[in-house]
Chains A and B, each alone.
Chain A
Amino acid sequence: MQGLDVGYMLGLVPVILGYVPLTLGMALAGMVAALVLACLLAVERVARVPVLDPLVVLFISFFRGTPLLVQLFLFYYGLPQVMPVLVNIDGVSAAILGLTLHFSAYMAESIRAAILGVERSQWEAARAVGMSPMTMMLRIILPQAARIAAPTLVNYFIDMIKSTSLAFTLGVTEMMGAAQKEAAGSFLYFEAFLVVAVIYWAIVETLSWAQRRLETRLGRAYAR
């Protein structure tokens, strides 16, 4: 066992930090898109639109039932073989697309549960004052469902941030890819992987702090 090369690790920190914007950018773009898609999917699952419903069920089943890595390879290396235009999709876009589809399937289920978790009386009251189903969803049900779904959605976001490390397999050098390449040149594996682990950890801890703030805020109306 050799000693830890602290000097090397300190030198590596700014290098890995340089890839934080790319990692967070991919995760944020994926999260926003996945959230929108998941809301649509969840509302559909609650409303059970004819014809559309089996398709949504199929979508959720596929994207929950296959590993993210398999989906990424399918989009990036597989599909262009059948549809040559897709060669033009770059690794970053393919990674964001994969994250979006994959996580929207999970988030749809969590949002659906949250929608159904809103008290029946709220639905009845909204209908009694003559709200259209659309207005009721947007003004009454979804805001309350958001509070219920928030902790699980933040969990998915954390998972998404960490899942961006798979983008290196698509040729996107993000935090993990950068650490992997540095380790391959220096052969200081422990040092390189420890630096990247601590940085991921710090990002997620920051997010957990934000989550506590968010939950307090969303729960204001319910505070006793």
Chain B
Amino acid sequence: MLKAFALAATLAVSALPALAETIRVGMSGGYFPFTFVKQDQLQGFEVDLMTEVAARTGDEVSFVTMSFSGLIGALSAGRIDTIANQITITPERSAKFAFSQPYVYDGAQIVVKKGNAAGISGPGDLRGKTVAVNLGSNFEQLLRALPYADEIDIRTYESNIEQDTALGRVDAFVMDRVSSAQVIAKSPLPLELAGKPFSEIRNALPFRDDAAGHALRDRVDAALTAMKQDGSLAEISRKWLDADVTEGN
């Protein structure tokens, strides 16, 4: 009897619309044009995306900025609920986290100091070169997985890989294509793209792999689906990236 009552109560509660929660969104705040700060204003693609998602799920959203390499740890530890920082789906991450559907389709891109692009058309040309990547990013894994990885001097950074490449301290950096193109277009740094993007990547939002994490993931996923259908996701993409990169092939 008591059991039945408890069951009924649980069902009743779960049938009610979920109470508004605060989704704590982690981001580095230093990844132009996805999440960056100008005059103390946090902005970018990811900020607009999560604000719109929260508006649709009826939740509050709070942005937590910390260094990129700390984000995954903070998500596991429960300090944040998801990460909006162009997180690429990788097998290792999928084993540990529950991902939303992808919301950006992109490729890895080699960027060099202006004038040094000659002879670099793909990752094979990085042999014998020093290459900067963000610590803990999938680009680091991507480089280390190359069969000739031991011939590349891979340097991991917390931030400022663009500056060290422009200063000539490293030969190149590897990042996703869309933000590389935006950095080159909008920053004063003397950089250029080298070769075509390699290895398709898909960015999504990771959640903790437990009941609460799955519930939140499903709510956010529904919002993403709706945003893809009514074109608002494509609009956010065009606003920050001058292109729609939210549809897969």
Give me the interface of A with B, judged by CB distance under 8 Å. Answer: 2, 11-12, 15, 18, 77, 80-81, 87, 91, 168-171, 173, 177-178, 180-189
- Partner pick for A77 among B39, B70, B159, B160, CB 8 A cutoff: B70
**Closest B residue, CB atoms, query A77:** B73
Q: Once bound together, how far apart are the Cα atoms of A183 and B30, in whole Å?
A: 8
Contact B188 A187 (CB under 8 A): yes
A12, A178, A180: the one within 8 Å of B159 (CB): A180
In B1-55, the 8 Å CB interface with A consists of: 26, 28-32, 36-40
Binding site for A on B (CB under 8 A): 26, 28-32, 36-40, 64-67, 70, 73-74, 77-79, 159-160, 162-163, 183, 187-189
- Are the CB atoms of B67 and A80 closer together than 8 Å? no
The interface residues of chain B lying within 8 Å CB-to-CB of A15 are 39-40
Cα A213 to Cα B67 in complex, Å, equals: 40
Contact B31 A184 (CB under 8 A): yes
Which B residues touch A181, using CB under 8 A?
29-30, 36-37, 65
| Contact partners of A189 in chain B: CB under 8 A | 160, 163
> In the complex, what's the smallest C-beta–C-beta distance from B135 to chain A, in angstroms?
12
**Contact with B30, one of A11, A77, A80, A180 (Cβ below 8 angstroms):** A180
- Contact residue among B67, B160, B189 (Cβ-Cβ distance under 8 Å from A169): B67
A175–B189 alpha-carbon span in the complex (Å) = 24
On whether the beta carbons of A185 and B37 are closer than 8 Å, the reply is yes
The one of B73, B79, B188 in contact with A188, judged by C-beta atoms closer than 8 angstroms, is B188
Q: Please name 19 further chain A to chain B contacts, defined as beta carbons within 8 Å, in addition to the given A171-B64, A171-B74, A178-B40, sorted by A numbering.
A: A15-B39, A18-B40, A77-B73, A81-B77, A87-B78, A87-B79, A169-B67, A170-B70, A181-B30, A181-B36, A182-B38, A182-B39, A184-B28, A184-B29, A184-B30, A184-B31, A184-B37, A187-B163, A187-B187
In the complex, the answer to whether B67 meets A185 with C-beta atoms within 8 Å is no
**What residues on B are CB-neighbors of A170 within 8 Å?**
66, 70
Q: What A residues does B160 contact at CB under 8 A? A: 183-184, 189
Residues on A with C-beta less than 8 A from B159 are 180, 184
Q: Please, which residue of chain A has its CB at the minimum distance from the CB of B164? A: A189
Q: Are A171 and B32 in contact (CB-based, < 8 A)?
A: no
Q: Is the CB of A185 within 8 A of B70?
A: no
Given the known A-B contacts A184-B32, A185-B32, are A11 and B39 also in contact in the complex, defined by CB atoms under 8 Å?
Answer: yes
